[in-house]
Structure formats: structure tokens, C-alpha cells
Amino acid sequence: MRRTKLVTTVLLLALAWTLQLVPAPAGAVVGGRAATPADNPAMAGLVRSGQAAVDSLFCGGSVISPTAVVTAAHCLEGGLKASQIDVVAGGVRLTDPALQRARVSRVIVHPGYDDVRTVHDVAVLLLATPLTVRPVALATPAEASLGAPGAILRLTGWGEQRYNSPESLPDTLRYADIPVVANSACKRLFDVYDAALQLCGRAANNRPDSCQGDSGGPLIGGTAPAVRLVGIVSYSADQCGSPGFAGVYVRVSAERDWIAAAAGLDGPAALLPAQPAAPAVRKTVRTRIGTISCDEDSCSVVVRVSGSGRRDVSSVVVRVRRPEQRGFSATSRYVQARKVAPGVYRARTLLPYGIVNLTAVAFDAAGTQLGVAAREQIEVFDA
């Protein structure tokens, strides 16, 4: 049976320091197949400096130049420094002694990254030494059709092949072909979905699918010689492979100019101006995460909305974020809450074992963010 209990941040930090937390390999492709070097030569992995790749890979990425890798911004949460990260590339097996490895010299996170809505979820890693693998080109705005509904994109990744199952981690890279679905379908699943900056992928019966920890990994489109990086794994809903859900990916064509500038693809590396700030939260709407109760199958999270603007609230979304921790890699997903009484919403979800952070976001009918509540350091464990 699953239960939850709150633990203090101080205790967790002390425990992390004592145990020297090492993340498990990032999630792989549910229902995928073993990859060959030809399936994605530019595939990269983010690993802990000084540790074996097979034991410490925590996110994916793509080599976009000999000295630059693009990944998801949320992979760098938790205060990770460049000196703590290496990049591996040039092979499909994490235990391959010929796998290339380079130290990260600089981490550049998109200045518009919003960890509540998970938009602009992109970061560039600059490398201290060059890799000799073939980089993948970024999809340009003129190539946005590569990510149009109906397009088939190739997903690659290492790690869990079943949700919340570290024992399913493979040594060999896996791949799957994922169809892009209509923006309207994804907007129904996620109020935070932004069609201008994101695309949505879902296979029949949701298999194959990206899974927890696949974050930062690539969606590749086009045909040789015009192969392009079209998407970057960002977030998903509930269990990976669950019927009726989908994975959300950064739309690279929309972020291409920033990525290229940060990586120095168009000249010396320089940062573009930050994106406009997110709409201010209305002070008349207060959002609070209340009772969390779990049974053998799932957990119920109650969200309460109050204040004079309560009636403006059209929907509430709960984000489940598991930070990087011992035995698990960083993951993020969203769950739509159901209104059960005036000002009261309930989200039913399967919380992953370990420490999780919850964020509840209230929206009006136009999709404007009205209120945000966070509850962090919740421990979920077996009874």
C-alpha cells in the first residue's frame, strides 16, 4: 500500500549528502526496440562526472556541434553545476569502452524557462573537449511541418522500459517511431500545453511511448541527408504508456534561434534576450494543496481554490515532479483535476516512489494562469 508523509528539506539534504545520491539511468522507450548506431548517431547522455555512465546517466540529449549538446532545462534543476556533468555519445551501449565522454564546461538554460508551465524547457551544454560524432541539425521555422500532426518522428533513449521499474533499465539504447497528434488533443490533456512552443506525440494504445527520465532526449524527423532534430522530450501524464495520454516535446523549430545562439552555431556564443515574463498571478485567487491520500493503486490529491476570483477558475492542473534522487531520475508529468465541490478539485494519479514535489495551477477559460500552490518534499513509499 502506498502512503505519504512529509519530511523536512534539512533532513533530505543531510541524507543526500550522506548517501552521495546517484541517479538511475534516464527512462527509455516503452515498447521500443534495440537501436543501432545508425538510428541516431547524435544521441547523447548526461552523466555524473567521475561515475560510470551505466550507473549515473540521468537525462538524454542531442549533439548539435562538436562542442555543444542540447537537452531539457528541467534536467539541470536542483543546482547541478557544469563541473558535475559529463556527456557521453558515439555509441549505443552505456558499457561500451569506446563510448566518447566529454566534460561540460558551461550550462546555459533558456532565460524564458518556466518550471510551472514547463515552457522553453531547453538548455545547451558547452563541452570542454570536442566530440567526433556527427551532429544533428536543428529544425528551422521553415521546417515546422516536420512536427505537424501525422508526422512520424523517431524517439531514442536509455533507461526504464516500464514505469517506475529501475530493474527494466537496458544497457543498449532503444528507439521507437512516435506519431505527432493534433494540438487540440494535447490541449484537452494539458491546460499548460502551448502549441507554439510544444508538440505532442502518442502512438496507438500509447505504446511505444517516452517514459520517466527520457527528458532531454531527441525526436528526429526528415530523411537523409536532411535529418533534423524536431523535438526534445519534456513531460508526460500519469504512467508512461497509459491509454489516453501523450508525451509533450519542445518544438525545436520554435526554439531554434535561441539554441543556435547559445551553442554558437551562428557565430560566437551569445544569449538572446529573455522571453516576456509569464502573466502575473492574480492575488484574488489563492490555491492550496490539501489532503493527499493513497491506496494500493493510486493517490488522491485535493486542491482548494479560494478568494474573490474563485469563480474565474475554469480548470486546475496538478504537476507531479520527482527530482533527481537515489535510484530514480528526474521526471515531470501533469494530471487534470476534477471539480468535486465549489472551490474543491481532486486529481487522481499514481505518485512515483521516492520524494516528489507537487504544484497545483489554476487557469481561467482562456488558459491564463490565476493561482499556483506548491507542496514539496513529499515521501511516497511502500507500507
- Per-residue b/e over 169-202, b at no fewer than 16 CB within 10 Å? bbebbbbbebebbebeebeebbbbbbeebbbbbb
Cα–Cα separations (whole angstroms), residue 102 to 44, 106, 132, 269: 11, 12, 11, 19
Annotated active-site residue in 86, 121, 209, 312: 121
List Cβ neighbours of 56 (8 Å cut-off, separation of 6 or more). 22, 23, 25, 47, 48
Is 364 a catalytic site residue?
A: no
- Could you tell me which of 253, 249, 263, 254 has the C-alpha nearest to residue 202? 249
- Could you tell me which of 181, 208, 191 has the C-alpha nearest to residue 29? 208
List Cβ neighbours of 46 (8 Å cut-off, separation of 6 or more). 26, 57, 58, 59, 60, 61, 69, 71, 75, 85, 86, 87, 125, 216
List Cβ neighbours of 344 (8 Å cut-off, separation of 6 or more). 302, 303, 304, 305
d(CA 288, CA 349): 18
Is 215 a catalytic site residue?
A: yes
Annotated active-site residue in 56, 74, 120, 329: 74
Which stretches does DSSP call E strand in 158-205?
174-179, 198-201
Return the bridge partners of 294, or none.
299
Cα–Cα separations (whole angstroms), residue 378 to 38, 100, 287, 294, 341: 42, 38, 18, 12, 25
d(CA 256, CA 262): 10
How is residue 327 written as a grid cell? 535510484
Is 114 a catalytic site residue?
A: no
Annotated active-site residue in 62, 210, 215, 236: 215
The residues assigned a catalytic role are: 74, 121, 215
